Structure 1
Amino acid sequence: MIIKTARFGELDVGEQDIVEFNPGLLGFEKLTRYILMDIAEIPDFKWLQSIDEPNLAFLLVDPFTIKKSYCVELSDDVVNKLEIKEPEQVLVYTIVTVPKSGFKNATTNLVGPLIINWLRKKGKQIIFERDSNSIRYPLISNDSRKLNYGG
């Protein structure tokens, strides 16, 4: 199927590439179908493009590359809902926010990760109620102006 997007133009998407988030992401509960897109030469980042809303795309990052001590524990409910059988089926990403001041001030939300069973093409955003992580964790450290790899 061909989908139209504001950021990427027209994309040819196979049904097998669509990840279903049911319910949708926080604030976008009615939008449940997305595709996960690689970013050339930046393997730790992805785009999550809505199938049904051309203007909606989220920049994602693998949180384990940004903060090595990051940990996600999935409840039995999430494991069952996403039909996870093996840990290797799970992808974890966090949503990146890039402010008007530019990427040097970009942050990621470590409290609301996206959990994706890539094999079953099912996803869910989970929210940690009591968590020491930040909803605005900087991607670039202030000291070195380098990506927070392993921070």
Structure 2
Amino acid sequence: MKIDIEHFGLKDVPVDPETVFTFADGVAGFVDCKRFKVFHEEGKPTVFWLQSLDDPSVMFPIVAPETLDLEYQIELADTDCALLGLERAEDAVVVVIVYRDEAEGGKIAANTRSPIILNPINRRAMQKVLQEVHPTLLYRAR
């Protein structure tokens, strides 16, 4: 399988099945987009991209929360674990979608209320919409 990655002007990019995650319920606002290729630009291993295989115009930049000094403790329901085929909590990988917040002068922001949960063992994924978020402040001295 090959895809075009419009954002980078790339044509006929080979898709390794080991880099494709399936979102049974799609992603918020894009419920018909169920298959996503995960990749990163060469030389930029901290920002990954979720490229839809179902709609080439849909792509999200994602990062590990730790990159932004965020720490998540997420409780997954049994139905979430079943959807992900998750047998052990340590197998889950949590990432957040980042975006440029034009209202804040173009600063980089993250969708912290709807992290993406990936199971790299079976390549199933979901977007977990958190009903309650209890922030913890982290102070760093410099």
Is the structural similarity TM-score above 0.5? yes
Offset of 1:61 from its aligned partner?
1.1
Corresponding position of 1:141: none
Partner letter of residue 91 of structure 1? V
Unpaired runs of at least 5, structure 2: none
Q: Given the alignment of the two structures, is residue 111 of structure 1 paired with residue 113 of structure 2, yes or no?
A: yes
Corresponding position of 2:54: 52
- Cα distance in structure 2, aligned partners of 1:48 and 1:33: 9
**SS, match of residue 81 in structure 1:** helix
Offset of 1:104 from its aligned partner?
5.7
Q: How many residues align?
A: 134
Unpaired runs of at least 5, structure 1: 134-148
- Cα distance in structure 1, aligned partners of 2:68 and 2:75: 18
1:1-151, aligned counterparts within 5 Å?
1-8=1-8, 9-10=10-11, 11-100=13-102, 105-133=107-135
**SS, match of residue 7 in structure 2:** coil
- Cα distance in structure 2, aligned partners of 1:69 and 1:18: 25
Query: What's the TM-score once normalised by structure 1's chain length?
Result: 0.78
Query: What's the TM-score once normalised by structure 2's chain length?
Result: 0.82
Offset of 1:16 from its aligned partner?
3.2
What CA deviation, in whole Å up to 9, does each residue of 1:104-135 have, x standing for no partner? 611001110000101101000011112135xx
Query: Displaced runs of 4+ in structure 1, greater than 4 A?
Result: 100-104
Identical amino acids, percent of aligned pairs: 25
Contact 2:96 2:114 (8 Å CA) reproduced: yes
- Cα distance in structure 2, aligned partners of 1:14 and 1:88: 24
Offset of 1:56 from its aligned partner?
1.2
Contact 2:32 2:54 (8 Å CA) reproduced: no
